[in-house]
Structure 1
């Protein structure tokens, strides 16, 4: 067991790192590690590996360990050992979730990230979900965050009541990623639980600033794959009291985030490849590849934030 399981991830920007693939769908470790280093130089506090943007359901057990170990070694070698690694470990059963957590720890992860089980969606009542997380917390080798993302769990949306109960009863549960976009839920959780032991985190760029105002511990944002510095700048503007500039920047991020969502995971990688010159817009099937050319109305708001990113 972790000797200090109630220490949450530090405040800041976390990139849910995309996983690049070669044409034959094998791991493109060269592009993925280059991407991780660009994130590190962009001022992020950590990386989330094998989340939704990392295509966790498409990765084999050994590939997950290779990714974590390779990225960890790359960060340490290049002087970024302080960056935290949060690793997706969600599975349909308690048994396999614990196996993923053990494998993630062995590969160098600092935290796990666990989705509710979604195969038997109709059976996933609040008591069942709470028991699932509690049983994992009792045996986990890593502290972990709950991952609330109804879009990938058949609509399962964990309530603030459940999150608060789980956190109070299980010290190994040290945070939650709220991709649901519910700022009210985030504020209820953040204002109830001590920041010293629990991190409530926004899960999208498009509500980053409102979430920070509501008590978010930073943001885990897909758009940070494209513009990590800009997310760090948003946090800085708010922290220094320049609310007008923060609101203006948040507006640009919101438009870019909405455009990026229309492209899907492969499109995130396509945007990175187009603007930063590495990787390609390819996912494992059935997701397939992103568009050869991104439509102008989608590309335009992304280009706006990329220009700002490159000016920082």
Structure 2
């Protein structure tokens, strides 16, 4: 067990990194390193590796270890050792989840991020899911966050009651990523658990500002792959009490987030490549490549926030 398992990740912006591949579907470590540095320069508090946007189900164990080690080395060698690494470690069994946690820790991770098991969806009642997390927490080599994303778990949606009780009982559970978009759930969790011991995090740019009002510890946002500085700016505006400017920026981020969702994970990578000059829109099959053409209603909101990102010093 980690010697200090009840310290949550710090408040801030976390980018769930996309994983760049070459045309032959091998890891493009050069583009990944360039992406990591741009995120670091965008003042993110941390990086989420091997999440949904990182195509975790498509990566082998050795590739996962190499990826984490590459990100850690890139940050350290370029003067960003304080940026936290949260690594996706969810699996269908407690045994493999613990193995992923161990491998990620050895490669340089600070925290794990764990989806509920979803293969046997019909059998995943609340008690079964809670026991899964308790069993993982009892043997975990590092602290971790619960990952609630019904869209990738066959509709499994962990309740605030389960999250709160698990966090209170298990010091290794230090946060939750709520991609479900339920701000009421975030409010209940944040109000029930001390901020110094638990981080309830919004899981999308789309509701970042409302989530901050509800007690979010920051945001884990796919759109930050494009515009990390804008997300950092939104948090700054909120903390400074400039609600009018924060609402205006949130509107732009919400529209861009919705547009980006329509292009898929490969589309995120293609948009990064087109605007920042590294990587390509290649994903491992069956996801395929980014769209050949992007409709104006998709490109317009994204172009707007990219232009704003590039205008920030």
Aligned partner of residue 223 in structure 1, secondary structure: helix
- Residue 221 of structure 2 corresponds to residue 221 of structure 1: yes
- Residue 107 of structure 2 corresponds to residue 110 of structure 1: no
Once the two structures are superposed, the pairs formed by residues 127-166 of structure 1 within 5 Å of their partners are 127-166=127-166
TM-aligned CA deviation for residue 288 of structure 1? 0.4
Q: Distance in 2 between matches of 1:233 and 1:73?
A: 27
Deviations 1:90-135 (A, max 9, x none): 0000000000000000000000000000000000000000000000
Q: Distance in 1 between matches of 2:134 and 2:296?
A: 47
- Residue 200 of structure 2 corresponds to residue 200 of structure 1: yes
Query: Which residue pairs with 1:65 in the alignment?
Result: 65
Aligned partner of residue 291 in structure 1, secondary structure: coil
TM-aligned CA deviation for residue 295 of structure 1? 1.7
Query: Which residue pairs with 1:177 in the alignment?
Result: 177
TM-aligned CA deviation for residue 71 of structure 1? 0.7
Query: Which residue pairs with 1:6 in the alignment?
Result: 6
Deviations 1:56-83 (A, max 9, x none): 0000000000000011001000000000
Q: Distance in 2 between matches of 1:276 and 1:80?
A: 21
- Structure 1 residue runs without a partner (length 5+): none
Deviations 1:141-193 (A, max 9, x none): 01000000000000000000000000000000000000000000000000000
Q: Distance in 2 between matches of 1:196 and 1:238?
A: 20
Q: Distance in 1 between matches of 2:39 and 2:293?
A: 25
Aligned partner of residue 219 in structure 1, secondary structure: strand
Give me the TM-score of the superposition, normalised by structure 2: 0.99
TM-aligned CA deviation for residue 294 of structure 1? 1.8
Query: Which residue pairs with 2:310 in the alignment?
Result: 310
Q: Distance in 1 between matches of 2:92 and 2:124?
A: 11
Once the two structures are superposed, the pairs formed by residues 19-30 of structure 1 within 5 Å of their partners are 19-30=19-30
Q: Distance in 2 between matches of 1:278 and 1:261?
A: 21
Q: Distance in 1 between matches of 2:221 and 2:291?
A: 22
TM-aligned CA deviation for residue 293 of structure 1? 2.5
Deviations 1:255-298 (A, max 9, x none): 00000000010000011011111100110000000112222210
Q: Distance in 2 between matches of 1:211 and 1:296?
A: 29
Q: Distance in 2 between matches of 1:26 and 1:215?
A: 40
- The root-mean-square deviation of aligned C-alpha atoms, in Å, is 0.4
Q: Distance in 2 between matches of 1:8 and 1:78?
A: 25
TM-aligned CA deviation for residue 11 of structure 1? 0.1
Q: Distance in 2 between matches of 1:240 and 1:8?
A: 23
- Structure 2 residue runs without a partner (length 5+): none
- Residue 43 of structure 2 corresponds to residue 43 of structure 1: yes
Deviations 1:201-246 (A, max 9, x none): 0000000000000000000000000000000000000111110000
Q: Distance in 1 between matches of 2:142 and 2:18?
A: 22
- Count of aligned pairs: 312
Q: Distance in 2 between matches of 1:84 and 1:236?
A: 19
Q: Distance in 1 between matches of 2:125 and 2:175?
A: 21
- Residue 56 of structure 2 corresponds to residue 56 of structure 1: yes
Give me the TM-score of the superposition, normalised by structure 1: 1.00
TM-aligned CA deviation for residue 197 of structure 1? 0.7
Q: Distance in 2 between matches of 1:276 and 1:222?
A: 16
